[in-house]
Chains A and B, each alone.
Chain A
């Protein structure tokens, strides 16, 4: 008789919710493997000593006091963006418009600095900037949400398209406000009077964004996990029909959540323009509106663990570029290393959620 069923060599089985320690261990292994592969790639292609390479990776991110501060500042900005996008993503509302919402907020802040700089006292200008940035970001989030809730339009497309509108608006106002004439750049706004510059806390220019990031991250965690709003967001995300059945007004939740998400992105724009760069350019968000999506996904929308993934990405970013040129390599080399590490980190999620079962010999014998 030959009626035995042919069993494949292996099959993939979903794991039960793995314990945190295990999930962490898998991630740690993934990072170590990524580092080893990076080392091999580096040695094979360039002939450099991998230990030296890792060393300059750390030097790039933490080599001096200033470097540590800059790294922390960049981490807080990326973290804030990821946290800002989180409520929308928990609702399964694909907000890929972070970039545009940041730019809208930044543009509003810059507009206040330029137009009100010599008309109002500093404190009032800053107040206008805060209100303006949050409102502009919220507006950029509201428009796609409104269309989604009313006519069920595709939010991925509309949020993405809002990015282009924001970029073009910034490009337009760059020409309006350019100094000197024709140069196509605004330069530092109010460089002499410092009007509209967000205050330096404790004498350091780096602390404010870090503090804001810490506060917002904690608040967001509490909001999502311990408030009715957060629960409504999760229900809408799981199933709109269920939400409707239990009496949640889905449209209202969508609009409310996107107002929040957009306003927080606008806050990032405020920090970038008023606190860090003191100017606005079309590239001020530097693609982080998208990197933030990656951070949020990697952490399954848990604001607290986003601290670590933002740190990892910024660490790699700063460290890898240090590697690439301290050894006379091109910037693209840093991108390759970052790519390898991200590949491993995203790939390891598979092994956290699934396991591979090989065909068992014993099973054969029984038959």
Chain B
């Protein structure tokens, strides 16, 4: 008996070992050389390096199975092919020392430009940037470039809140349609939002989405739940189901799995997506998706390096630069959606419409006339910059930083849990 038990335990232990061994991710390199050199020819004669002689290295948190990383991969591939730059990429790089090592390996391999796509990569990119001053290190969604004082470390983001606001208009019009059809009353116009963490990027995202919806459907309210992970399919599905049970009639999310969209498709609840269209998996409930298109940023960086001009410490793409995009509309959207979205889009580009216009929301019943935001990252979250200017909250403003810092809890949005 004892022997049997022993054997069983050995088996379990070994299996555990194998699974753990196999589950651990490693780094990997993918080299792709683009044959196109037409753009490179254009660059000749200018100072700096010819584009065709540049080598760009990319570090991705996951592989193409993650919609978040796929969005970056497609942009990187498109930009490098267009400019004729050689591309090397490393996938499945965790947010730890592995990122530093991957960045150094890319620099060792002769890359002039190294990019990392995940928030947690930032500190390790800074370490690598200190070691290779002649290589340009760029990082998406990070917060530290403007205070770090390194010439070769840069942050980038986009005014995705504009995109979310437009997606909110789509949701608001859908609510109006439901109210007109008598499916719900005005008081039942409640949306649900599945967020990852109570992080400024998420708060800025759901608030702009909500304000977009309320700009066309004044009676709307919203409930938000947090999963405590950027990618947790089960938790996101559970979160969406909980919101649907609570009576939410439209769901949106800021987390990277298909959990919430598929829960919506099963329950027949319209969904506003992020990172890319989910119309293939959710043909009946998909409304629209907003996303950041990183191609303009990659082209900007590579061109800057080729011309020998400095890359901005913080670069914030917009609707105008083509960095913020809405996908094609799903079949479930309300009539007149496209026109309404286009009108709002023009107004935003023209500077007539500000998403965080302080006249459109209240905090604890009062207007937000002044707000000190924690723009410079520190361990004590010290508020350091006035963010309200000219009657609106200046999100991702010039001279501040590209990553969002809007972390105000406005009236009309109900946070169900804030543990994360």
Contact = CB atoms under 8 A, between A and B. Distances in A.
Interaction A to B: yes
A330 interface: yes
A178 to B, nearest CB: 8
Interface string B64-96: 010000000000000000000000001110111
Contacts of A27: none
Contacts of A52: none
A contact residues, range: 35 or more
A64 B419 CA distance: 45
A180 B143 contact: yes
A268 interface: no
Interface string A298-332: 00000000000000010001101110111010110
Interface of A: 60, 64, 66-67, 70, 92, 94, 96, 114, 156, 171, 175, 177, 179-185, 187-188, 191, 276-279, 281, 283-284, 286-295, 297, 313, 317-318, 320-322, 324-326, 328, 330-331, 334-335, 338-339, 342, 346
B196 A180 contact: no
Given A184-B197, A294-B14, A297-B13, A322 B29 contact: yes
A187 B100 CA distance: 13
B25 interface: yes
Nearest to B62: A331
Contact of A331 (B9, B28, B123, B377): B28
Given A180-B143, A281-B95, A291 B20 contact: yes
A262 B16 CA distance: 19
B contact residues, range: 35 or more
Contact of B105 (A64, A156, A183, A185): A64
B407 A334 contact: no
A181 B17 contact: no
A17 B69 CA distance: 53
Contacts of B20: 287-291, 294
Given A67-B105, A325-B90, 6 more contacts: A180-B143, A184-B197, A292-B17, A293-B14, A313-B21, A331-B25
A321 B92 contact: yes
Contacts of B377: 179-180
A182 B373 CA distance: 14
B31 interface: yes
B181 to A, nearest CB: 38
B91 A290 contact: no
B223 interface: no
B350 interface: no
A180 B120 CA distance: 11
Contacts of B90: 325
Interface string B228-243: 1110000000000000
Contacts of B331: none
Given A291-B21, A317-B26, A321-B25, A156 B9 contact: yes
Contacts of A317: 21, 24, 26
Given A96-B16, A180-B143, A184-B228, A291 B108 contact: no
Interface string B206-233: 0000000000000000000000111000
A116 B304 CA distance: 43
A297 B11 CA distance: 11
A64 B28 contact: no
Given A96-B13, A184-B197, A291-B20, A277 B97 contact: yes
A66 B105 contact: yes
A334 B26 contact: yes
Nearest to B124: A188
